[in-house]
Amino acid sequence: MMKIDILSIFPEMFDGVLGHSILKKAADKQAVNYQIVNFREYADNRHQTVDDYPYGGGAGMVLKPQPIFDAVEDLMQKAVSKKPRVILMCPQGERYSQRKAEELSKEDHLIFICGHYEGYDERIREHLITEEISIGDYVLTGGELGAMVVIDSVVRLLPGVLGSEESHIQDSFSTGLLEHPHYTRPADFRGMKVPDVLLSGNHRLIEEWRVKESLRRTHTRRPDLFEDIDLPDEHQKWLSEIKKQDE
């Protein structure tokens, strides 16, 4: 079972997300255990203050190191597996990807730190965490929403969580490409018809169509993804044909 600890001063934000859909089913199946920790409870002052003014002046408040250090160290002492990965949600971090989700899904224990205010005391970055993650080049009010995104993408990859083990394998980015189009009943909706090949029952032709459409969609929408993909010769040929058709 994967253990996920979430440090936040707004723990109630996670109730709806973790209590529904795939994330709830994963917990019900005992594939994952969530614990939300309000690190304000670790503050060593009477008012449970977790932020302070930045040295040198400037706008905003900065999260103090003491409550977060104490909270993480307490969780580590209680950990039953190897040293957890401690993830700081931060717009300065590594841009999140499906590859990172697959990497994290193989871990036994993840600790997420969700910050607020202007930022974190730098000593948290330098001496406590294992990595920083950003879900995009923009700034959110806090790290909670980013942590929810990462947790969702990781948990759905855990064994037995999805109804079909092939579901996540065919997802966009799992193969390096964008996923092919999908269709369902009716075959003719207001004159808009499902491609004939999908109704043919010929699985080889259907798979070929799906690969070609995946290549086409990636070429049209995210051609940059091809820079990190080593396509088989046959797929390279199909991609060349797609590019010629677009010229």
Question: Following CA atoms 175, 180, 184, 189 in sequence, which dihedral angle do they give, to the nearest 10 degrees?
Answer: 170
Active-site residue 84, yes or no?
A: no
The single-letter code of the amino acid at 241 is: E
Residue 246 marked ligand-binding: no
Q: Which one of 54, 65, 91, 181 is the catalytic residue?
A: 91
Q: Which two tokens stand for residue 76?
A: 């580590």
Q: Are 61 and 118 in contact (CB under 8 A)?
A: yes
Q: Which one of 152, 171, 179, 208 is the catalytic residue?
A: 171
Residue 57 marked ligand-binding: no
Q: Which one of 107, 118, 152, 208 is the catalytic residue?
A: 118
* Nearest CA among 167, 152, 148 for reference residue 26: 152
Residue 16 marked ligand-binding: no
Q: Which one of 40, 144, 156, 216 is the catalytic residue?
A: 156
Active-site residue 171, yes or no?
A: yes
* Nearest CA among 91, 65, 94 for reference residue 7: 65
Residue 138 marked ligand-binding: yes
Separation between Cα atoms, residue 14 and residue 19, nearest integer Å: 8
Active-site residue 126, yes or no?
A: no
Residue 160 marked ligand-binding: no
Active-site residue 91, yes or no?
A: yes
Cβ within 8 Å of residue 70, ≥6 positions away: 39, 42, 44
Residue 115 marked ligand-binding: yes
Residue 137 marked ligand-binding: yes
Known binding residues for S-adenosyl-L-methionine? 115, 135-140
Residues making up the binding site: 115, 135-140
Active site residues: 91, 118, 156, 171
